[in-house]
Amino acid sequence: MTDADERRVSKALQGLEFPADKADLIRYAEDGEADPRTLRALRALPEGAYQDSGEVERCVPQRPEQAPGR
């Protein structure tokens, strides 16, 4: 994930209360009308609960556009 991707993910999740699971992250970003690239990155996350946006950023694959099934 690039620095620009990290900024997009961080911005899309501003205001979200943590901990949150993958579905919560995606729903929040969709409700906030996040761009398709940000949503693709969030959909590439492993299932699970995330404690903060920093953990989300660390867990997004380096190339989410190439993640299987995305």
Q: 69 pLDDT exceeds 70? A: no
What CA–CA distance (Å, rounded) separates 16 from 68? 27
Please write the tens of the pLDDT for every residue from 15-57.
999 999 999 999 999 999 999 999 999 999 999 999 999 999 9
What CA–CA distance (Å, rounded) separates 38 from 68? 16
pTM of the model: 0.83
pLDDT score at 70: 44
